Structure 1
Amino acid sequence: MADESSARLTSAMLVGALRRRVAAGGGFATILVKGDDISGVILVQTMEKGQETGLFERVSNFSGGHALMRCGPDPQEGAQAMVHYVERRRRSDPDLWVIELDIPEAERFAAETIC
């Protein structure tokens, strides 16, 4: 029998919860790239009123939990830089998820839901 502390939510469950929570908060959330349902890495592209505010990756932290870490190009580098970054990441990890959130404080919504 599996130890209860080793149980974890799948990537698909986390993404679904994040989409529902953002929608309930009056925002917009969409899956740009669907990854592996069980253990795909999750990238969260944050937006506010259509303006990109950053890209974050869900990573393991030292305490056994998860955190969001800023990754990818600076939003000021433009949409094309982000597209190239995601394409490179997808080539090395085809199981990767990319979720776009458009809501004020999108990073907070993501951290509170998937970390």
Structure 2
Amino acid sequence: MVLHKGERDGGTVLIVILENQSLGILYERMPDVDGRRKWRVSKSQVIDNKQEFEDYLSRRMQQDPDVWIVELTVADRERFVRDNLSAG
């Protein structure tokens, strides 16, 4: 599901992964020491404070209106990340 539509050609993409409808993990492409941009966890939802995660996403949208935020529900987060995001 697209939570926020950003700039069509240049917006940053953030991916929120929900594993089996549980807590969200936010991934974004971050620069590495070798200059490549790799997918990294930038925020994890805390079970006792789910609102804090939603507030963080709202702040990111306010700071960067061009950002895309996409939410994916997957059965196995580690496998999904390995198979789809590990290549950078």
TM range (shorter): 0.7 to 0.9
**1:6-85 counterparts in 2 under 5 A?**
30-85=1-56
Inter-CA distance 77–96: structure 2 relative to 1 (3 Å threshold): farther
Aligned-CA RMSD value: 2.1
TM-score in terms of structure 2 length: 0.77
Inter-CA distance 75–101: structure 2 relative to 1 (3 Å threshold): farther
Number of residue equivalences: 85
Inter-CA distance 73–91: structure 2 relative to 1 (3 Å threshold): same
What runs of 5+ residues in structure 1 fail to find an aligned partner?
1-29
Higher relative contact order by CA 8 Å / sep ≥ 6: 1 or 2? 2
Secondary structure in structure 2 of the residue aligned to 1:35: coil
C-alpha distance after superposition, 1:9-38 (max 9, x if no partner): xxxxxxxxxxxxxxxxxxxxx211111111
What runs of 5+ residues in structure 2 fail to find an aligned partner?
none
Quick one: percent identity of the two aligned structures?
25
1:102 alignment partner in structure 2: 73
Deviates more, 1:64-73 or 1:92-101: 64-73
C-alpha distance after superposition, 1:57-83 (max 9, x if no partner): 122333343211211344324431111
Instruction: Select the structure that is richer in strand.
Output: 2
Deviates more, 1:74-83 or 1:33-42: 74-83
Inter-CA distance 108–52: structure 2 relative to 1 (3 Å threshold): farther
TM-score in terms of structure 1 length: 0.61
Shift of 1:92: 0.8
Max radius of gyration: which structure? 1
